[in-house]
Amino acid sequence: MSQLSELNKEIFEEIKNKAGFYIIDFWAVWCGPCKVMTPIFEKLAEDKDINEVTFYGLNVDEESEVAEVFGVSAIPTFFLIKTKGDGTFNLETDVVDKFVGTQTAFDFKLGIQAALKKAKA
């Protein structure tokens, strides 16, 4: 099962060198909707139905450089990405899906599963 880990610039560089699916939660301590989504995101990180995805949280105030790479303008925002493992990342081709704002755990899980299915097709 996947677990939720914190993402920073160094770890982002590492995951670009590992092929796989990753979902990143861009959040901030002061963000009310982020606080609503945190337990939902943590629960999904442990969901065996989507264990092929590695879950990361990124504090936009502490890691603004990575947030800028993704062009994050609202939080919470979640990016599902697929890395090739070749050390590169292209926002246009490597983003599988983007989820913005709050949503139910059920809808979020369905969205992730649908995006994964599409990415594998």
User: Over the stretch 92-115, which tens digit does the pLDDT of each residue have?
Assistant: 999 999 999 999 999 999 999 999
User: How many independent structural domains does the chain possess?
Assistant: 1
User: Over the stretch 12-30, which tens digit does the pLDDT of each residue have?
Assistant: 999 999 999 999 999 999 9
Sheet holding 53-59, edge to edge: 4-6, 53-59, 20-27, 77-83, 95-100
Q: Show the domain range for 104.
A: 4-120
> For the domain that residue 83 is a member of, what is the CATH number?
3.40.30.10
Tell me the pTM: 0.93
Selecting among 34, 44, 58, 67, the annotated active-site residue is 34
Is 102 among the residues known to form the active site?
A: no
Selecting among 31, 37, 44, 80, the annotated active-site residue is 31
Is 70 among the residues known to form the active site?
A: no
